[in-house]
Amino acid sequence: MQILDGKQTAAYYRSKVALKVEELKKNGIAAPRLAAFLIGDNIASAMYIKMKEKACAEVGILTRTHVLDAKTPEAEIIKLIKDENADPQTSGILVQLPLPKHYDEKKILSYIEPSKDADCFLPQNIGHMFLGDETTVLPCTPLGVMKLLKYYKIDVASKEVCIIGRSNIVGKPLAFLMLKDNATVTMCHSKTRDLKEVAKRADILVAAIGRAKMIDSSYVKPGAVVVDVGINHIEKPDGKHETCGDCDFESVSKIASYMTPVPGGVGPMTIAMVLYNTLYNYVLIKKLDIKMDIEP
Ligand code: NAD
């Protein structure tokens, strides 16, 4: 079994983004900026924002993080988003989800200027993606999965792909990207009948469920490629905490041909794609003559 190393692969894609940012600067063009909103006191969200800031700094992308407490009036958040929309150097805006429950996530996100949508969460961008617009920004986690497979030269064309999980940010858009690359896609979810039997047909099995270690080898065809998107934090019997995926790594790695670890699999790829999208938006907004080819 070969590990699909997201850390190493993300470092490769980040280095490609860094080269493009360097190219901008050499041409006298200021670096793009990612503006992030961290609202409330969700520990995981704070950690993700830190990781994104660090990754941006590494490739020369500027960051501005709005750290706001959970009592911040909605109008103030919207005003700050509008300010970022108007700032010509900001090309990526993201609001770290989930927001504290009393906020209307959909409403707040709707104020992001679609051309600056770093996550590709907005209906305008998702719509363009589904209609096959080749120039639109793509959602970070699904894009990260596709780039990871590409890096390892795993071709999805004509393969049976099973995706477990149908969220708007992972499962559904990933199914679309797989389909676009000519895979035969089966979507599974909590109401799927005979989940094991369906999953076992897959040449490429993707778990994006949010259930720690639910997928063991009994769901996997021998030799399948397994991509574990899940990030779960569990308490072990000894009281220590562990981050794990939706797959039982020990069990699945015995029969898969390739597999992503958690941590160090899809997570770093998602962050690399936030950087890519921020630069990509900048190039489009400013109509720069920079090719965004980052493939190996
Ligand atoms: P979600 O909670 O929005 O959706 C979960 C999906 O799993 C649903 O479609 C549901 O139908 C399905 N599901 C739930 N229980 C099931 C079961 N018993 N059998 C079959 N299907 C079941 O999830 P999400 O936002 O897509 O996130 C999924 C996981 O991926 C989470 O662990 C999340 O933390 C992780 N995630 C990781 C990254 C990353 O960068 N690695 C990015 C986003 C999400």
> For the chain, what are the domain ranges?
28-113, 140-266
pLDDT, position 278 = 98
pLDDT at 296 > cutoff 90: no
Mean pLDDT score, 158-165: 98
pLDDT, position 293 = 85
pLDDT 10s digits, 183-212: 999 999 999 999 999 999 999 999 999 999
Token pair 């470092």 is found at: 11
Q: Which residues are catalytic?
A: 52, 96, 119
CA of 158 to the centre of ligand 1 (A): 25
- pTM for the whole structure: 0.97
Measuring from each residue's beta carbon to the nearest atom of ligand 1, which residues come in under 6 Å? 141, 164-167, 169-171, 188-190, 192, 195, 208-211, 229-232, 266-267, 270
Nearest CA, atom 30, ligand 1: 230
Mean pLDDT score, 131-160: 96
> 108 among the known binding-site residues?
no
Three-state secondary structure string covering the chain: CEECCHHHHHHHHHHHHHHHHHHHHHCCCCCCEEEEEEECCCHHHHHHHHHHHHHHHHHCCEEEEEEECCCCCHHHHHHHHHHHHHCCCEEEEEECCCCCCCCCHHHHHCCCCHHHECCCCCHHHHHHHHCCCCCCCCCHHHHHHHHHHHHCCCCCCCCEEEEECCCCCCHHHHHHHHHHCCCEEEEECCCCCCHHHHHCCCCEEEECCCCCCCECHHHCCCCCEEEECCCEEEECCCCCEEEECCECHHHHCCCCCEECCCCCCHHHHHHHHHHHHHHHHHHHHCCCCCCCCCCC
**Spatial distance between the Cα atoms of 236 and 117, rounded to a whole number of angstroms:** 38
pLDDT 10s digits, 229-275: 999 999 999 999 999 999 999 999 999 999 999 999 999 999 999 99
Q: Which CATH architecture has domain 28-113?
A: 3-Layer(aba) Sandwich (3.40)
> 166 among the known binding-site residues?
yes
pLDDT, position 22 = 96
CA of 137 to the centre of ligand 1 (A): 22
pLDDT at 48 > cutoff 90: yes
Q: Which CATH architecture has domain 140-266?
A: 3-Layer(aba) Sandwich (3.40)
Give yes or no on whether 28-113 and 140-266 have one common fold. Answer: yes
pLDDT 10s digits, 58-96: 999 999 999 999 999 999 999 999 999 999 999 999 999
pLDDT at 25 > cutoff 90: yes
Tokens of 46: 């704070």
> 201 among the known binding-site residues?
no
The rounded percent of the chain whose pLDDT value lies above 70 is 100
